[in-house]
Amino acid sequence: MKKINGGVTTPLGWMAAGVHCGIKRERLDLALIYSERPTMGAVTYTQNRMRAAPVEYMVARENNDIRAFVVNSGNANAITGQQGLEDARAMAELTAKALDLDPSEIGVSSTGVIGRYLPMDKISAGITKAAGELARGRKADHRAAQAILTTDKVIKEAAIQLKLKDGTTVTVAGMAKGSGMISPSMKVQHATTLSFITTDAVLTRPPEERWQEAIDKSFNVINVDGDQSTNDISAFMANGAAGGPPVDDDTQFWNAVTKVAQSLAKQVVTDGEGATKLIELKVTGAKDHADARRAGRWIISSSLVKTAVFGADPNFGRVLAALGNSGAAFNIDRVRLTIGTGGSTISLFERGRPQLAPCSEGEVQARKLLSQKRIVMTLDLGVGKGQAEAWGCDLSYEYVKINAEYTT
């Protein structure tokens, strides 16, 4: 299994395009992903009850075997009522017509400002244009990955190649977007930011369960601002073009899918609105895994923890106060909180006591660690064997600026 430089068209039989249709002033705003062959897959959606029209449309249709996905950015088609639903359906129908497919094989997704109707004339022209520009290769990957962005600063891609037992090489690749309104829910039929994972491996049955496991270890552990979107969607699509044995129960294959999803999720949180630092929190010693996840999510979502990290302040009290609010079980005499990894690990709190005196050498070191781009924290709750990761980012002036000054 090896990471490669690739995107959604790296697996065999996949094509993509990204065009400017005019929702945004200048940037690309409509993406198309297309498989030359029929696919099998799984799609997960937001748990927000205020679901956007394309999500409503997809959920009602109940087909997870998506051969082409059309995605626009700049307009979320959310809270747009009956008109929005008709527009989502029209997007599927226009795409089906352009690609000579059935509308049920088309996935539809939108992201951008909430509460405005889609400019369907522009979308329609954009779909025709994108269908004409479908291509393979890194340029097509990049244009598609670009066309789904909103306040994101960079595109997010990941790809892994692996050899199956019979020697067949298969590829798993993906693209994602997401910067604000990121707080995916833990429930089963849920989702995240937008993410699209393609592969040329062979599946023989719907992969819902395996896909959910991958999501639970990737997009479900990230949090930017605690606001779960109306539009989240994560799609996994396998077209079997590489041949070889089915991967339904191939652990190595699903590890690769998980790794691609994890890479994309970390890229999303690193590009979180205004983020200057990635926070990787590992919770150990919890009563069970669910309790570990609960503690991790509360801590990573706390505005006080996030601003402390932004300010490089080793304020362990805010982390423990957030733990107290999470409802997770802990034994304060056995709780241990460290930052850093390996030889440079610094203990902030253990055996019921703060470990760093104000203005001590240790505190200076801790501030140095907290000034880096990647902050690793480990919190042992001291009561059991439950573990979980939670990834977040700091809360900066820039977050306020992005969200106060722009309508997003």
What are the residue numbers of the active site?
Answer: 192
**Binding piece for a second copy, criterion CB under 8 A, among 32-40, 73-81, 142-150, 251-259:** 73-81
Considering the rule CB under 8 A, would residue 354 count as an interface residue with a second copy? yes
186 class by beta-carbon count within 10 Å (0-12 exposed, 13-18 middle, 19+ buried): middle
Nearer of residues 80 and 171 to a second copy, judged by Cβ: 80
Residue 351 CB partners (closer than 8 Å, separation 6+) = 333, 334
Nearer of residues 24 and 67 to a second copy, judged by Cβ: 24
Contacts with a second copy: how many residues (CB under 8 A)?
A: 62
Nearer of residues 27 and 367 to a second copy, judged by Cβ: 367
Angle at 31 between CA 27 and CA 37, to 5 degrees: 160
Which positions from 95 through 114 interact with a second copy, judged by CB under 8 A?
A: 113-114
Helices (H), 28-80: 53-61
43 near 235, Cβ under 8 Å? yes
Considering the rule CB under 8 A, would residue 373 count as an interface residue with a second copy? no
Question: Under DSSP, is residue 111 helix (H, G, I), strand (E, B) or coil?
Answer: strand
Could you tell me how far CA 64 lies from the centroid of its own chain?
Answer: 19
Considering the rule CB under 8 A, would residue 51 count as an interface residue with a second copy? yes
Considering the rule CB under 8 A, would residue 302 count as an interface residue with a second copy? yes
**82-86 — which CB contacts under 8 Å span 24+ positions?**
83/117, 84/52, 84/53, 84/117, 84/118, 85/53, 85/56, 85/57
Residue 60 CB partners (closer than 8 Å, separation 6+) = none
Considering the rule CB under 8 A, would residue 307 count as an interface residue with a second copy? yes
Provide, rounded to whole angstroms, the least separation between the CB of residue 159 and a second copy: 32
2 class by beta-carbon count within 10 Å (0-12 exposed, 13-18 middle, 19+ buried): exposed
Nearer of residues 163 and 406 to a second copy, judged by Cβ: 406
220 near 389, Cβ under 8 Å? no
Which of 109, 228, 234, 378 is in the footprint of a second copy by CB under 8 A?
A: 228
Considering the rule CB under 8 A, would residue 365 count as an interface residue with a second copy? no
Nearer of residues 248 and 313 to a second copy, judged by Cβ: 313
235 near 107, Cβ under 8 Å? yes
Considering the rule CB under 8 A, would residue 90 count as an interface residue with a second copy? no
Which positions from 145 through 184 interact with a second copy, judged by CB under 8 A?
A: 180-181, 183
Considering the rule CB under 8 A, would residue 219 count as an interface residue with a second copy? no
Considering the rule CB under 8 A, would residue 407 count as an interface residue with a second copy? yes
Which of 229, 239, 267, 378 is in the footprint of a second copy by CB under 8 A?
A: 229
Provide, rounded to whole angstroms, the least separation between the CB of residue 382 and a second copy: 13
Which of 45, 69, 349, 391 is in the footprint of a second copy by CB under 8 A?
A: 349
Tell how strand 40-45 and strand 233-238 pair up: antiparallel
User: Which helix (H) or strand (E) segment is 18 a member of?
Assistant: strand 14-19
Distance between first and last Cα of the chain: 39
- Residues lying near a second copy in the complex (CB under 8 A) are found at 48-51, 76, 78-82, 113-116, 180-181, 183, 225-230, 301-304, 307-308, 310-311, 313, 315-318, 320-325, 327, 330, 332-333, 349, 352-354, 358, 395-397, 399-401, 403-405, 407-408
